[in-house]
C-alpha cells in the first residue's frame, strides 16, 4: 500500500467516530489490549502523562509537551483529531510521524492476520505507542479520545494523570449528567498515580475525590491553589501573572487558556516533585513557543488581518462556545461576521441561544456525514433570532464574509473542528 491507500484503509475499512458518529464509536479496552500485546506492549518503554477532559485537554497536552521538550526531554505527543494531515496526531519533538512510518505500521498489522476488527482510533493509538517506542522517547503525552474509562488509550500506566474539566458533551455515550461524565473521565485515574484535576464543581468534585481515594491516588485540584493570578492581552498574546514564574507570555491568546495554563503549571509542579528536571526560564519560554514547538493550531487563532481581523477557534460544545462568546464580547469591532458549521450530534438547542444575535451569520458544513446541513442549521438558528445565509463550504462562506466586511469589523470562524480542518486545508 502507498500512503494514500493506507489512509483510505484506516478511515474506510475501520469504524471511525470522527466520520461516522455513533456508528464508529467502539468503547472497551479488550481490542486495544490485544493490539498492545500483538506489538509487544510498546507503551511500557517510556513514561507517560495521560490527559482527559471535556475541553482544554488538547491545549494542556501541547503545553506539557512544549515545556518538556524545551527542557531537553525527547517527547512523544498523541492528540486527536487532526486538522489537515493525519500525521498531526503523532509527533516526536514536534515532528510528525512520516508517511513511510504510517504505511509500514499498517502493512505490518495487515500481515499479522489479526482476526479482530479494530476501530480507527484503536489502530491509531497503537500506532502512536509503537512509534514512540521506536523513537526512544523519554516521555509521551497521551490525550484521550472520547471519555476516558473505556478510551483506547486507557491501557497505559502513566506517571501522572490530568483531567482538565467536565462539561456536557457526547452525552449519548458518556452520560447525561456531569457526575456521570466525570465518572468516565475519572476512569483514567490509576492506583497510586498522582492526578491533577483542572476544574471541578460541587457535582463533579466528589466523583474525582472518591475515585482517587479508592485507588489511593494523590489528587490535586488546580483551582484550589491557583498558579495563575490574572491575565491581560498584549500584541496578540496572553500575558499571564503567575505565582511561581512571574509574568509568562503565552502565544495562545484565548482568555479561556488561563484555566489550561493553571492546570499545566500545577501538573508541572507535580512533575518536579517526582524528580523531573524542569528549568523555570525554559518553562516560561515554552508557553510562548507552543505552536512552533508542538504544531498546535485552531485556538483563538488569527489567520488574517485583511480585509479585517479574522479569528478561528475550535470550541464546539456548550462550554467551548460559552468561552468563545465571552471573549467576543471583549473584542472591539463595528460588525461581527460569524462563519459557523456544526456536527449533527451537538446540543444546538442550548448552543444557539448563546450566540450573539447582532452578528451576521454565514452557515456552512464540513464534508463529513456527521455534519449538520447548512440549511438545517439556518432554520434552527432562525428560531433563536439569528440571521444569515447558507454556503456550500467554509471557504465560500468566508469569501462572502470578507466581501461584506469593513476594516473595522471582525470575522469569526468556528463551531466545529472539522470546519476548521477544511479551512486550514484550503489556506495551507
Tell whether 340 and 269 lie within a shared domain.
no
Query: For residue 102, is pLDDT > 50?
Result: yes
**Number of domains composing the chain:** 2
Tens of pLDDT, residues 264-287 = 999 999 999 999 999 999 999 999
Mean pLDDT for 172-199 is 90
Tell whether 349 and 289 lie within a shared domain.
no
Which of 18, 78, 88 shows the shortest CA–CA distance to 49?
78
Tell whether 356 and 268 lie within a shared domain.
no
Query: For residue 37, is pLDDT > 50?
Result: yes
Which of 300, 428, 422, 297 shows the shortest CA–CA distance to 364?
422
Q: Residues for the chain: how many in total? A: 428
Compute, in degrees rounded to 10, the torsion defined by CA atoms 36, 40, 44, 48.
-40
Nearest 5°: CA angle at 93, between 29 and 53? 40
Cell of 272: 518536579
Instruction: Confirm whether 15 is domain-assigned.
Output: yes
Mean pLDDT for 205-232 is 96
Tell whether 97 and 202 lie within a shared domain.
yes
Instruction: Confirm whether 352 is domain-assigned.
Output: yes
Cell of 339: 462563519
The pLDDT of residue 17 is 46
Tell whether 156 and 287 lie within a shared domain.
yes
Query: For residue 300, is pLDDT > 70?
Result: yes
| 3-state SS class at 411 | strand
Tell whether 308 and 279 lie within a shared domain.
no
Tell whether 15 and 64 lie within a shared domain.
yes
Mean pLDDT for 125-137 is 98
Instruction: Confirm whether 406 is domain-assigned.
Output: yes
Tens of pLDDT, residues 362-403 = 999 999 888 999 999 999 999 999 999 999 999 999 999 999
Q: Which residue has the cell 507552543?
A: 290
Q: How far is CA 296 from the centre of its chain?
A: 9
Q: What is the percent of the chain where pLDDT is above 90? A: 81
Instruction: Confirm whether 26 is domain-assigned.
Output: yes
Which of 74, 124, 71 shows the shortest CA–CA distance to 95?
74
Instruction: Confirm whether 159 is domain-assigned.
Output: yes
Tens of pLDDT, residues 12-30 = 866 554 554 444 445 679 9
DSSP states along 146-189: S-STT-GGGG---SEEEE----S-SHHHH-SSHHHHHHHHGGG-
List the beta strands (DSSP E) in 153-283. Answer: 160-163, 195-197, 219-221, 228-234, 237-242, 246-250
Compute, in degrees rounded to 10, the torsion defined by CA atoms 233, 234, 236, 239.
-60
Query: Phi and psi (nearest 5°) for 155?
Result: -90, -5
CATH number, residue 347? 3.90.190.20
- Of 294, 313, 342, the one marking the end of a domain is 294
The pLDDT of residue 330 is 85
Query: For residue 175, is pLDDT > 70?
Result: no
Q: How many CB atoms lie within 10 A of CB 104?
A: 17
- Of 241, 274, 294, the one marking the end of a domain is 294
Rg value, the chain, Cα = 21
Q: Which long-range contacts (CB under 8 A, 24 or more apart) does 96-104 make?
A: 96/295, 97/127, 97/128, 97/131, 99/3, 100/3, 101/131, 101/134, 102/3, 102/6, 102/7, 102/127, 103/1, 103/2, 103/3, 103/6
Tell whether 378 and 401 lie within a shared domain.
yes
CATH number, residue 280? 3.40.1190.10
Tell whether 204 and 327 lie within a shared domain.
no
Instruction: Confirm whether 239 is domain-assigned.
Output: no
Parent domain of 204: 3-225+256-294
| 3-state SS class at 247 | strand
Q: What is the percent of the chain where pLDDT is above 70? A: 95
Tell whether 137 and 184 lie within a shared domain.
yes
Laid out side by side, the sheet with 309-312 consists of 301-304, 309-312, 410-414, 336-340, 360-363, 388-390
Instruction: Confirm whether 391 is domain-assigned.
Output: yes
Instruction: Confirm whether 246 is domain-assigned.
Output: no
Tell whether 221 and 79 lie within a shared domain.
yes
The pLDDT of residue 168 is 64
Q: What is the mean pLDDT of the chain?
A: 92
Tell whether 211 and 354 lie within a shared domain.
no
Q: How many CB atoms lie within 10 A of CB 244?
A: 12
The pLDDT of residue 20 is 46
The pLDDT of residue 130 is 98
Query: For residue 123, is pLDDT > 90?
Result: yes
Tens of pLDDT, residues 177-189 = 899 999 999 999 9
Contact 328, 336 (CB under 8 A): yes
Amino acid at each position: 500500500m502507498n500512503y494514500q491507500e493506507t489512509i483510505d484503509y484506516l478511515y474506510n475499512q475501520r469504524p471511525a467516530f470522527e466520520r461516522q458518529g455513533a456508528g464508529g464509536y467502539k468503547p472497551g479496552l479488550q481490542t486495544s489490549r490485544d493490539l498492545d500485546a500483538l506489538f509487544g506492549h510498546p507503551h511500557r518503554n517510556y513514561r507517560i502523562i495521560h490527559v482527559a477532559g471535556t475541553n482544554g485537554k488538547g491545549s494542556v497536552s501541547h503545553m506539557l509537551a512544549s515545556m518538556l521538550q524545551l527542557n531537553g526531554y525527547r517527547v512523544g505527543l498523541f492528540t486527536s483529531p487532526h486538522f489537515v494531515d493525519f500525521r498531526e496526531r503523532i509527533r516526536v519533538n514536534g515532528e510528525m510521524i512520516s508517511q513511510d512510518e504510517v504505511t509500514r505500521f499498517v502493512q505490518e498489522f495487515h500481515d499479522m492476520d489479526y482476526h479482530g476488527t479494530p476501530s480507527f482510533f484503536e489502530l491509531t493509538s497503537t500506532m502512536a505507542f509503537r512509534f514512540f517506542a521506536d523513537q526512544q522517547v523519554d516521555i509521551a503525552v497521551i490525550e484521550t479520545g472520547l471519555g476516558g474509562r473505556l478510551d483506547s488509550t486507557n491501557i497505559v500506566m502513566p506517571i501522572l494523570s490530568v483531567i482538565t474539566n467536565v462539561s456536557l458533551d457526547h452525552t449519548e455515550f458518556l452520560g447525561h449528567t456531569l457526575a456521570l461524565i466525570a465518572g468516565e473521565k475519572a476512569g483514567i485515574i490509576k492506583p497510586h498515580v498522582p492526578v491533577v484535576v483542572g476544574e471541578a464543581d460541587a457535582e463533579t468534585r466528589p466523583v474525582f475525590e472518591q475515585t482517587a481515594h479508592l485507588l489511593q491516588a494523590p489528587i490535586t485540584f488546580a483551582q484550589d491553589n491557583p498558579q495563575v493570578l490574572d491575565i491581560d492581552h498584549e500584541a496578540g498574546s496572553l500575558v499571564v501573572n503567575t505565582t511561581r514564574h512571574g509574568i509568562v507570555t503565552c502565544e495562545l491568546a484565548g482568555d479561556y487558556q488561563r484555566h489550561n495554563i493553571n492546570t499545566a503549571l500545577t501538573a508541572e509542579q507535580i512533575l518536579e516533585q517526582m524528580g523531573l528536571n524542569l528549568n523555570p526560564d525554559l518553562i516560561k519560554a515554552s508557553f510562548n513557543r507552543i505552536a512552533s514547538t508542538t504544531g498546535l493550531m485552531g485556538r483563538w487563532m488569527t489567520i488574517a488581518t485583511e480585509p479585517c481581523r479574522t479569528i478561528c477557534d475550535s470550541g464546539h460544545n456548550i462550554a467551548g462556545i460559552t468561552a468563545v462568546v465571552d471573549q467576543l464580547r471583549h473584542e472591539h469591532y463595528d460588525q461581527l461576521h460569524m462563519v459557523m458549521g456544526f456536527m449533527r450530534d451537538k446540543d444546538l438547542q442550548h448552543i444557539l441561544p448563546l450566540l450573539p444575535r447582532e452578528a451576521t451569520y454565514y452557515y456552512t458544513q464540513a464534508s463529513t456525514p456527521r455534519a449538520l446541513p447548512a440549511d438545517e442549521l439556518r432554520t434552527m438558528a432562525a428560531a433563536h433570532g439569528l440571521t444569515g445565509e447558507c454556503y456550500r463550504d467554509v471557504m465560500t462562506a468566508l469569501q462572502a464574509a470578507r466581501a461584506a466586511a469593513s476594516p473595522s469589523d471582525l470575522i469569526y470562524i468556528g463551531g466545529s473542528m472539522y470546519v476548521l480542518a477544511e479551512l486550514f486545508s484550503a489556506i495551507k
